[in-house]
């Protein structure tokens, strides 16, 4: 990677470093965008905007950002997942068949280095990214070499280092600048990867059964406590699966069931947030443990799950218990 010590203007960090708990589908918020844009006041979209970035730019320009509005934060998260961003790369970066700057088509394994900057108010490296060429030009009037990639492809390229993902500032130098902390970047990476939602191909042999060895009791208690902090989780069951082509030995699986009303990006976000909180506990164990969204593996897992007793069930609230 290339590091430059040049500071850039103050960045607007309107977040504590955590996304709000997902309780509605932000993608279904489109109908309300017209109202929110009128509340945000009139502004002109910059030129040369990727069409999928319009909702992100509108959210970045919403004056409620300074109020830490949770609904706006969820709109930002959803808009980021569907955005295409410009990222600066070193002049000697090899881009395959691509000539100069521009969009890169992912073909196999792509390794990219990114230009890093520093800011006295931010701990650690920062990767500057931009929603459009106009924002890039405001930050670097002389221009620079860049790639433009979908966030779902771009952000995972940042998270493979030993220290995890860096900070990201979107549109640095502008009034709408947004700082994403490493934890927020990791949430977006996990959501982009779709933890727990990938359906295994039918041709892959998977042997599913009750767990030969469940979580130790102290780990079960710790996991159940974390699950209770995520309102989206309705229950969780332990079992195991073994894929001879992929595993040396069976993996313990935590089959998580979420509120069936959660869909789309909201569901992916809920899974990513849950995995983020569970992974420090699971990494302390001496065996492979995977978290799986039962809805994404229903054909494979549900017969076994229904034959077992879940170790966590969300307590009924008073309204449910009255029924």
Residues 13 and 80 in one domain: yes
The boundaries of the domain holding residue 228 are 207-322
What is the rounded average pLDDT of the residues 13-34? Answer: 44
2-3 and 251-258 as β-strands: parallel, antiparallel, unpaired?
unpaired
Residues 78 and 184 in one domain: yes
Most confident stretch, 5-9, 67-71, 188-192, 257-261: 257-261
Residues 131 and 221 in one domain: no
Q: What pLDDT is stored for residue 255 in this prediction?
A: 94
Whether 202 is in a domain gets the answer no
* Confidence check: pLDDT of 321 > 90: no
Comparison of pLDDT for 154 and 265, the residue scoring more: 154
Residues 244 and 96 in one domain: no
What whole-number distance in Å separates Cα of residue 274 and Cα of residue 267?
11
Q: What pLDDT is stored for residue 42 in this prediction?
A: 58
* Window from 31-40, 153-162, 299-308 with minimum mean pLDDT: 31-40
Residues 155 and 243 in one domain: no
Residue after which a domain boundary falls, among 193, 218, 250: 193
* Confidence check: pLDDT of 208 > 80: yes
Comparison of pLDDT for 311 and 152, the residue scoring more: 311
Q: What pLDDT is stored for residue 116 in this prediction?
A: 79
Residues 150 and 58 in one domain: yes
Residues 136 and 249 in one domain: no
Residues 159 and 297 in one domain: no
pLDDT tier for residue 258 given thresholds of 50, 70 and 90: very high
* Confidence check: pLDDT of 29 > 50: no
Q: What pLDDT is stored for residue 318 in this prediction?
A: 54
What whole-number distance in Å separates Cα of residue 76 and Cα of residue 280?
26
What is the rounded average pLDDT of the residues 107-131? Answer: 78
Question: What is the number of structural domains in the chain?
Answer: 2
* Confidence check: pLDDT of 313 > 80: yes
What is the rounded average pLDDT of the residues 20-31? Answer: 42
Q: What is the pLDDT of residues 60-78, one digit of tens each?
A: 888 887 776 767 777 888 7
Dihedral sign of CA atoms 195, 57, 118, 96 in order: positive
Query: What CATH number is given to the structural domain containing 299?
Result: 3.30.460
* Confidence check: pLDDT of 79 > 80: yes
Residues 121 and 257 in one domain: no
Comparison of pLDDT for 143 and 136, the residue scoring more: 136
* Confidence check: pLDDT of 234 > 70: yes
Comparison of pLDDT for 185 and 13, the residue scoring more: 185
* Confidence check: pLDDT of 80 > 80: yes
pLDDT tier for residue 199 given thresholds of 50, 70 and 90: low
Residues 140 and 275 in one domain: no
Chain mean position to CA 249: 29
Q: What is the pLDDT of residues 91-103, one digit of tens each?
A: 776 665 444 444 4
The closest of 51, 75, 54, 50 to 65, measured between CA atoms, is: 75
Residues 95 and 217 in one domain: no
Residue after which a domain boundary falls, among 145, 164, 193: 193
2-3 and 115-119 as β-strands: parallel, antiparallel, unpaired?
parallel
Percentage of the chain with pLDDT > 90?
19
What whole-number distance in Å separates Cα of residue 141 and Cα of residue 145?
12
* Window from 39-43, 159-163, 253-257, 312-316 with minimum mean pLDDT: 39-43
User: What does the H/E/C string look like for the chain?
Assistant: CEECCCCCCCCCCCCCCCCCCCCCCHHHHHHHHHHHHHHCCCCCCCCCECHHHHHHHHHHCCHHHHHCCHHHHHHHHHHHHCCEEEEECCCCCCCCCCCCCEECCCCCCCCCCCEEEEECCEEEEEEEEECEHHHHHHHCCCCCCEEEEEHHHHHHHHCCCCCCCCEEEECCCCCCCEEECHHHHHHHHHHHHCCCCCCCCCCCCCEEECCCCCCCHHHHHHHHHHHHCCCCEEEEEEEEEECCCCCCCCEEEEEEEECCCCCHHHHHHHHHHHHHHHHHHHCCCCCCEEEEEHHHCHHHHHHHHHCCCCCEECCCCHHHHHC
Residue after which a domain boundary falls, among 164, 193, 222: 193
Residues 216 and 132 in one domain: no
């Amino acid at each position: 990677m290339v590091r430059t010590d040049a500071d850039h203007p103050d960045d607007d960090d309107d977040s504590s470093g955590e996304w709000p708990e997902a309780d509605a589908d932000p993608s279904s918020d489109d109908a309300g965008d017209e109202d929110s844009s009128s509340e945000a006041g009139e502004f002109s979209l910059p030129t040369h905007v990727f069409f999928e970035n319009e909702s992100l730019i509108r959210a970045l320009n919403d004056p409620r950002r300074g109020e830490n509005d949770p609904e706006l934060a969820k709109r930002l998260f959803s808009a980021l997942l569907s955005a295409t961003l410009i990222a600066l790369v070193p002049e000697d970066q090899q881009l395959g068949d691509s000539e100069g700057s521009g969009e890169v088509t992912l073909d196999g394994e792509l390794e990219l280095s990114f230009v890093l900057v520093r800011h006295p108010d931010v701990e650690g490296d920062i990767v500057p990214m931009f929603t459009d060429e106009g924002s890039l030009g405001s930050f670097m009037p002389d221009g620079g070499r860049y790639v433009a990639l979908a966030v779902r492809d771009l952000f995972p390229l940042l998270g493979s280092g030993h220290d995890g993902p860096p900070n990201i500032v979107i549109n640095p130098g502008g009034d709408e600048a947004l700082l994403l902390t490493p934890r927020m970047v990791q949430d977006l990476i996990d959501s982009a990867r779709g933890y727990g939602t990938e359906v295994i191909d039918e041709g892959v042999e998977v042997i599913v059964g009750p767990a030969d060895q469940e979580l130790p009791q102290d780990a079960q208690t710790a996991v159940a406590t974390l699950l209770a902090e995520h309102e989206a989780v309705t229950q969780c069951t332990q079992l195991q699966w073994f894929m001879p082509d992929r595993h040396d030995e069976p993996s313990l699986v935590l089959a998580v069931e979420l509120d069936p009303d959660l869909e789309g990006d909201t569901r992916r976000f809920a899974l990513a947030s849950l995995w983020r909180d569970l992974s420090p506990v699971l990494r302390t164990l001496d065996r492979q443990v995977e978290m799986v969204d039962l809805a994404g593996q229903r054909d494979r897992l549900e017969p076994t799950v229904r034959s077992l007793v879940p170790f966590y069930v969300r307590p009924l609230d008073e309204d449910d218990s009255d029924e």
